[in-house]
Amino acid sequence: MAREGGQQHKTARKTSEEDSPPESAPSEAASERKEKLDDDVDAILDDIDEVLESNAEEFVRGFVQKGGE
């Protein structure tokens, strides 16, 4: 039954939290993937830095809305 399925997931996760598996050394492929991810993140932040409004505090304070709906 679907209803029990939900509970099984919960139990399964609890068990895995209790006896957490030993940390395995990251494989070469995984560390390469992480490096690539870090490069991507740097590139994203550089891109976003360029467009972020300059005075964050003032800009955020100035955004005042009336309720809607």
Task: Decide if residue 21 touches other proteins (CB under 8 A).
Answer: no
Nearest-angstrom CA–CA distance, 7 and 11: 6
How many whole angstroms separate alpha carbon 32 and alpha carbon 26?
10
Q: Does 59 bind other proteins (CB under 8 A)?
A: yes
Is residue 53 within 8 A of residue 59, CB to CB? The reply is yes
Residue written as tokens 């309720």? Answer: 67
Position 3 contacts other proteins (CB under 8 A): yes
Q: Which listed range, 18-26, 28-36, 45-53, lies at the site for other proteins (CB under 8 A)?
A: 45-53
Question: Which residues in this chain contact other proteins in the complex, by CB under 8 A?
Answer: 1-3, 5-7, 9-10, 13, 40-41, 43-45, 47-48, 51-53, 56-57, 59-69
